[in-house]
């Protein structure tokens, strides 16, 4: 296993995010992490990259228990990991080439000709070698996401984490990103973790899928197995139904009582 999460408990401000989370990410596969908004999908990526630590339980990456690692060891582990942030997170004051080159310059002493060769190779892989001199403000949303993907793979990571990679993309750009995720995983022999709530898109690329709800894994398996689940909560999410066990309203006091109290004030 590249990632193993065991009985993880994590809360923020007393509000539980995870309450006994267990899941595995297998080498060389695309693992989809799904769930309604607020279920902790992005928090899971923070746990995997040791940005936060569980209050209970264990997170192992590359067979190392993250809780036992010193800061230098965590830093070394992160160098083996690529990350595609929500909305790309490109540096706005440098051009496309320098955005992709940034991790290389930060983590290596490669000579400039080799840096240029490496960056152009990665830009070619995402179809944007011709955009090397453009500034981020000159890119469409789909192009910016592809530049961010080139930056994420420029150090040849062993595991690639995608945080909501489909948000705000038009159908063509979405199709391009889906194809790139699949192609990158196969061509580079890496392991991918894709966090999203876009069920239909994930079903076209995922080898393994987890649906998180209530702080735990509500269902796991292939996308087809999740669609065939007998669980009402799983069916509600997979079909996008408004009615079901997952409530529309965030927990709140009794509505009528609260209105009466508001009138008295």
Angle formed by the axes of helices 141-153 and 96-107, to 10°?
20
- Residue 251 to residue 262: CA distance in whole angstroms: 18
The owner of tokens 């080139």 is: 150
Alpha helix segments (H runs only) across 192-247: 199-203, 223-227, 232-239
Nearest alpha-carbon partner for 152 in 165, 134, 166: 165
Cα distances from 149 to residues 55, 128, 158, 240, in angstroms, run 32, 11, 14, 28
Fold of the domain built from segment(s) 3-80+157-264: Rossmann fold (3.40.50)
How far from the centroid of its chain's Cα atoms is residue 224's Cα? Answer: 21
Residue 217 parent element (H or E):
strand 216-221
pLDDT value for 134: 93
For the chain (length 265 residues), average pLDDT per consecutive 10?
Answer: 93 88 93 84 91 92 91 88 83 93 89 92 89 92 88 90 82 83 85 86 87 85 75 66 54 72 70
Do residues 119 and 101 touch, judged by C-beta distance below 8 A?
Answer: yes
Q: Sign (positive/negative) of CA torsion 41, 44, 49, 51? A: positive
Q: Sign (positive/negative) of CA torsion 9, 11, 14, 16? A: negative
Cα distances from 260 to residues 166, 251, 252, in angstroms, run 43, 18, 15
Classify each residue of 158-172 as buried b or exposed e, where b means 16 or more C-beta atoms within 10 Å of its C-beta: bbbbbbbbbeebeee
């Amino acid at each position: 296993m590249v990632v193993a999460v065991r009985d993880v408990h994590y809360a923020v401000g007393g509000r539980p995010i995870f309450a006994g989370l267990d899941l595995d990410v297998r080498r060389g596969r695309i693992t989809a992490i799904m769930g309604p908004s607020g279920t902790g999908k992005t928090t899971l990526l923070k746990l995997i990259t040791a940005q936060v630590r569980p209050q209970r339980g264990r997170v192992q990456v590359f067979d190392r228990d993250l809780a036992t690692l010193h800061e230098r060891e965590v830093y070394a582990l992160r160098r083996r990991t690529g990350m595609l942030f929500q909305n790309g997170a490109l540096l706005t004051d440098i051009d496309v080439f320098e955005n992709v080159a940034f991790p290389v310059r930060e983590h290596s002493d490669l000579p400039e000709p080799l840096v240029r060769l490496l960056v152009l190779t990665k830009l070619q892989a995402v179809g944007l070698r011709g955009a090397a001199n453009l500034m981020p403000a000159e890119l469409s949303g789909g192009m910016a996401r592809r530049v961010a993907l080139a930056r994420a793979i420029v150090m040849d990571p062993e595991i690639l984490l995608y945080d909501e990679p489909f948000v705000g993309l038009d159908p063509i750009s979405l199709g391009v990103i889906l194809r790139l995720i699949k192609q990158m995983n196969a061509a580079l022999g890496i392991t991918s973790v894709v966090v999203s709530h876009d069920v239909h898109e994930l079903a076209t690329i995922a080898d393994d899928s987890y649906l998180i709800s209530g702080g735990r894994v509500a269902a796991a398996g292939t996308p087809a197995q999740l669609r065939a689940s007998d669980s009402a909560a799983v069916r509600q999410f997979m079909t996008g139904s408004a009615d079901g066990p997952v409530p529309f309203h965030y927990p709140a006091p009794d509505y009528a009582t609260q209105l009466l109290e508001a009138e008295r004030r």
